[in-house]
A = this chain, B = another copy of it.
């Protein structure tokens, strides 16, 4: 639907529930939709939708075993998002550097270490 992996990743991470899900998956390794639904104030189907979003964004991957489907993280999606932020940050830092050279004010470096 989105055709844009970066947008999909950021969009997936935009929802607080989804971020919590990601956190839970990260700390447990792999979780099922029903498990999460028990610890969240929302329906299993809602969780399933969120997981689908995460999957389509390349952030999570399902693995069916028997009747249950366990979801695991896929950090490469996160890496893409981090890379974009890093790029923009770098460009911005470059500008700041140029300005600093002109201004030569105090305020030492600290270039938003992304």
Most chain B CB within a 10 A radius of its CB, from A75, A85, A89, A91: A85
In the complex, residue of chain B having the shortest beta-carbon distance to the beta carbon of A59: B88
- Copies of this protein, total: 2
Determine whether the beta carbon of A86 is less than 8 Å from that of B82: yes
Q: Does A23 contact B (CB under 8 A)?
A: yes
A15 surroundings in chain B (CB, below 8 A):
7
Q: Is the interface of A mostly helix, strand, loop or mixed?
A: helix
Contacts A81-B85, A85-B82; is A4 near B23 (CB within 8 Å)? no
Contacts A7-B15, A16-B4; is A92 near B112 (CB within 8 Å)? no
CB distance from A96 to the nearest CB of B (A): 8
Chain A residues at the B interface, C-beta cutoff of 8 Å:
4, 6-7, 10-11, 13-16, 19, 22-23, 26-27, 29, 73, 75-76, 78-79, 81-82, 84-86, 88-89, 91-93, 95, 112-114
